[in-house]
Each structure stands twice: as structure tokens, then as C-alpha cells.
Structure 1
Amino acid sequence: MSDRVHSTESRRAELGAFLRSRRESLSPAMVGLPDGFRRRTPGLRREEVAMLADVGTTWYTWLEQGRDVRASQEVLAAIADALRLDAVERQHLFVLSDRPSPEVRSVYPEKLEEPVQRMLDSLTGQPAYVTGRRWDILGWNRAASLVFGDYAQIAPDERNLMFMVFANERHRRLLVDWEILARASLAMFRLDSARYAGDPDFERLISTLRERSDEFNAWWPRHEVLNPLSNIKRINHPERGSMTFEYVSFALLDGSDRKLTVYTPLGDCEVLYVSSTL
């Protein structure tokens, strides 16, 4: 048996066990069904789950038995609803089924929790900030302010990475390789923004940038996309001259689209930066 076949069979077995455990954890009353008669086993019956999900009992039984049954996203969503799965359990169901999970994007205001800000503040020798779903800068440390400017003095709607790259002249002058970074940033932003197509906050930002930046207006219709990469950023600081950083971004694993970006000084920049109060 090949490793691929073994992996697929193991995934199906795990899926069946997961479905069975969730089914057995529910009582009829929890899903609005009458109890009616004595049950020999705990939880719901397979036929009850099948009825709630509007699928065939035999088909659902095969799914629990780990047979070669392929469920669509719509059917998996119906089963998740029938089993009253929470967000984490629903994601797990889609992973075990080897299906992409329908993403429900948050539209609530974003904020930074105190533990995250304390983590940023602890990075005294590395500029760092946390961005939100629209690339708004939600939090930063002193090192980031010293290198890139005081974010606290920027209007909230302009405290945004895309706005700063394309429409903030001071920030643009800092970037030695502006065009390379700007084009890459735009391509990565388009990839992220596709998940929020039609969102008024994104549309407002894009409209503003098309008005404020000739380059953004020319490049945006090209529909170029790019996955995030670690890279080098060269800075021409007005007080300290040339500075070079290696930067990398990390997703915050809390269900949000927030990212932590950290800049590590390279070469002589490290000595100049760490020893300097700017």
C-alpha cells in the first residue's frame, strides 16, 4: 500500500471517528428532536443526523464508516449545522474531508490585545508592527516608530501599509527600492483583498489610492498576485542614512487575518540601530 493511499484511508477513518464522536455527544433535545423512546446508545442516531442534514442515511453511514465518499462543501456545511459544530470543529471537519473551508470574514473593528502589545514592546532591537485584514497598522513598537516614523501622528484611515507605500511621501522617500517593494506589496495586497471583495472599507482604500497614486492606478488593473515572502528592505533614513533590514511576517493564529511583521537589522545597521536613540 502506497503512503498516499494509507494517508487517505487514515484521514477517512479519522473523519468517521470525529463524526461519530460529535453525533454521540448530542441529545435529541439539543437539536430539537423528541426523545420519545429508550436509546441503547448515547447521542443521536445516524438516521437522525442524516435527516437534519438532508442527506441519505446510507450515504451518511458510509461517511462515518470511512468509505470512499466525497462530500461537497454544501453537504459538509449541512452536516456541520446538524451536529452543531462550533467554528473550530467545523474547520476540522473540512480539513479531514480534504475540502477548503468556506471562510467567514470578520467585519468587526480590529484592536490589539495587551499581551500582543507587550510582545511588540519587548522587541527593543527590531522594528515590528501588527497589521489587520486591510493592512491597517494596529500596533507597533518604539523601534518601528524610530525607523519608519511616528504612527501615532498618522490619521487612522491613513495608518495603512498600502497607503503609506503609495500615498505617504515621507514613507516613500525612505524606501530605497521603492518600485520593487511597491509592486510586490500591491500584488500581495490584491491576493489578500480578494477574500473581502465588495467590502466597503477595502473599496474606499482602493478608490483613494487610485486617486492619490498614479502608479497604483496604473498597476491595480493588471491583477498581479504574489504570495508573501521574506525579503530585504533598504532604508534611507533622514538622520542615520542607509539601513538594511530583513523582514518576515507571521500570521496570528487566532482566527483573524492579523499579521506580525518583524524587521531584523543586517550588517552595520544592527550596530547603528541598537546603539542609537535616533
Structure 2
Amino acid sequence: MTIVAAVPTQRRRRPELAAFLRSRRARVTPEDVGMPPGLRRRTPGLRREEVAQLSGVGVTWYTWLEQGRPINASAQVLDAVARTLRLDRPEREHLYHLAEVPYAPERSAADIAVVSPELQGILDALDPHPAVLYNARYDVLATNAMYERLFFQDERGGQGMNTGPFGIRNVLWALFTVPEATCPLVDRKRELPLMVAQLRGAYGRHVGEPTWEEFVRLLAEASAEFARLWRSGDVVPPGTRVKAFRHERVGEVRLTSVSLSVNGMPECRIVTYTPNDEESRQGLASLREVTERRIPPPAGDGIR
């Protein structure tokens, strides 16, 4: 029997990194970066020394990087090379992955929340079943009306969910920072450890990224329960299971959650909730009826 020795990951990635950089360099012309075309260019695109100059790095260092030598690259240097080579976001993430540097794009809450009309249409079409679009950190990127009715609307129909530390609604932040008596999960002690274990599974792909590290740190400071569960180190993947929720208007509903991946949105998923029994189906129907009625303002409001 022939035994094939395992090749270290770094040794496998370095040739890929070298080939990727060469291919990206070949497609950028001097005119693209405001340089004169020059004469006697034997190969298309920029020369190595030109990439180094435009990126503010040494020619020898960039040459070694493109040759796949085992040198270390910082995020700042990779960003400079990516700008010079005019890489888009997927290409930049690929560059970071090959260089084994954590990828941490700067994203605002507005960037995170942008969802295409087509994807929103899919969520809306799933009504009367609650549906939501999450990223791997449980940020709420988009919902349909029934999801809002079940989880977020307070007595007057307003938004009843606190935002996370980055100014966007986050399910984990909401569940761990509200009093246990007001938590919508019936079996909180079973569900919360599973959600934290799913978060840790995703965190493994983002170790060292400032946004993720800050999110975990702030939630651990805000919730001793989250901090305890995080220290357990448990990891589980998302999966289909029955969850029971309580709502002040219709009581308890039991729903089966199913996760669906979304093309073009890495680590994002649509989660749908379907009634697990007839009583829960009627509960959702009743919730639709009561929330569609106009809720009168409390006494004392309005013009006198």
C-alpha cells in the first residue's frame, strides 16, 4: 500500500496565491492606473515593480509574494495590493484566504441591510409563514410581515427588538439582553445553547476579524449567560428542528424551522417557520387578524 504524505495547507495555498496574483496583474493595464503605456512590454498588464510601487511595498517583497514564497503579509499590505490590482470584494476575500490573513471588510449597518427586491419578494411570498434572512452572526437582514408580527411587534405595533452593537437588529443580542420572563422562546435553556454553538461554528471562519471579536466581547459583557455558554466551546451546524414560541396575544405556537442558503450571499440563510400542528396554524392566523386591526392610541393621546 502506498502512503501519500499530507501536504501542509500553507504549501498548497502558496502556489494558488502566486497564480492568482499573476492573473490579476495581467489584466490591469498601465492606463487603468494612470501610468503611460511604455514600450517593449513582453507580457500584458502591469510589471511586478509597478505593482510594488503603486502599492507602496518593496519590489523584492512583492516578487517573493507572487512567487509563493513563505512570507507573512499584513492586512494593510494586502489591501494596498488589492487596490492596485482593482480586486472586487469576492476577489479580495479570496486573496486574504490564500494569504491566510483574516478577512475583515469595513461594513456599515446600511451595507449589511441591503437586500435585493427579488430576495425580499421571496420572503414576502412565504407569508403566512414567518421567514427571515440572517447572516452568520444572527443579524436580521430582512423579514416578512408574519415574522415581524410574531417576534418584533409590541402592543402598539412598534418595533419591540433592541438593535445589536452595530446598529442593526440582532436576534442573539435581543434574546440575551431581555428579561427571561419576556423571552419568546419557551424552552430557552435548550435553544440558547444551540444558537450559541451555531455562532461559534461560524466564528471559526472569522477568528481575528475586528467586527466579530467586538460582537462576541460586547455580548459577553452584556450577558453573563452568553459568556458562560460561549466558554463551553460547543459547536453545532444549523439544522431543522421544532421550536416553541410564546406570544402575548395568541399564546404558544410550535414551529418547524428550516434553513436555506442564499446564492451570492455567503454565510447568509433564509429561515422559514412552518406550523407544527393545527393549533399553531390557527395561532398564526389569529395573530394576523389581531395585528391587522387598527390599534387605538391610549387615552390621553391626540389633539384636545
Q: Distance in 1 between matches of 2:199 and 2:14?
A: 36
Task: Look up the SS of the partner of 2:44 in the other structure.
Answer: coil
Aligned to 1:195: 211
* 1:105-136 deviation line (CA, Å, top 9, x unaligned): 31242354422221112224642223478755
Counterpart code for 2:174: F
Give 1:176 deviation, angstroms: 1.9
TM-score of the aligned structures, taking structure 2 as reference length = 0.62
Report sequence identity in percent: 32
> How many pairs align?
260
Matches within 5 A, 1:82-97: 82-97=84-99
Report matched runs for 1:126-205 at 5 Å: 126-131=129-134, 135=138, 137-145=140-148, 147-148=150-151, 150=153, 153-155=158-160, 157=162, 160-161=170-171, 162-163=173-174, 166-167=177-178, 171-172=182-183, 174-182=184-192, 185=195, 195=211
User: Offset at 1:103?
Assistant: 0.6
The correspondence of residues 261-276 of structure 1 with structure 2, limited to 5 A, is 261-266=271-276, 269=277, 271-274=278-281
Shift of the 56–81 alpha-carbon distance from structure 1 to 2, 3 Å rule, reads same
Q: Which residue number in structure 2 is paired with residue 122 of structure 1?
A: 125
Question: What does 1:1-278 align with in structure 2 at a 5 Å threshold?
Answer: 2=4, 4-5=6-7, 11-53=13-55, 54-57=57-60, 60-61=62-63, 63-65=65-67, 67-74=68-75, 75-97=77-99, 99-109=100-110, 110-124=113-127, 126-131=129-134, 135=138, 137-145=140-148, 147-148=150-151, 150=153, 153-155=158-160, 157=162, 160-161=170-171, 162-163=173-174, 166-167=177-178, 171-172=182-183, 174-182=184-192, 185=195, 195=211, 210=222, 216=223, 218-219=224-225, 222=228, 224=231, 227=235, 229-230=238-239, 231-236=241-246, 242-249=252-259, 259-266=269-276, 269=277, 271-274=278-281, 277-278=285-286
Q: CA RMSD in A?
A: 4.4
Deviations 1:185-214 (A, max 9, x none): 567679699625668xx96xx69x95xxxx
Query: What is the CA-CA distance between 1:274 and the residue it aligns to?
Result: 4.3
Distance 2:179 2:170 in 1: 10
Per-residue deviation, 1:16:
2.7
**Secondary structure class of the residue paired with 2:7:** helix
Q: Secondary structure at the match of 1:17?
A: helix
Q: In structure 1, the residue corresponding to 2:123 is in which secondary structure? A: helix
Q: What are the Cα deviations for residues 67-124 of structure 1, in whole angstroms up to 9, with x where unaligned?
A: 5534423443443233232222211222333x13431231242354422221112224
Given residue 70 of structure 2, which amino acid in structure 1 is its aligned partner? V
Q: Match for 1:153: what amino acid? A: G
Aligned to 1:213: none
CA contact (8 A) 2:52 2:59 kept: yes
- Secondary structure at the counterpart of residue 167 of structure 1: coil
Task: Show CA shifts across 1:42-79 (max 9, x none).
Answer: 2222233244442344x5445445x5534423443443
Q: CA contact under 8 A between 2:132 and 2:140: conserved in structure 1?
A: yes
Letter in 2 for 1:141: N
Provide the secondary structure at the position in 1 that maps to 2:20.
Answer: helix
Q: What residue is the counterpart of 2:297 in the other structure?
A: none
Normalized per residue, which structure has more helix?
A: 1
Question: 2:294 matched to which residue of 1?
Answer: none
Q: Runs of 5+ in structure 1 lacking a partner? A: 211-215
Q: 1:170 to 1:78 in 2, by over 3 A?
A: same
**Cα gap change, 1:188/1:132 in structure 2, threshold over 3 Å: closer, same or farther?**
same
Amino acid in structure 2 at the alignment position of 1:96: L
Report the TM-score when normalising by structure 1.
0.67
Query: Structure 1 residues 171, 259: CA separation in 2 closer, same or farther (over 3 Å shift)?
Result: farther
Residue identity matched to 1:219: E
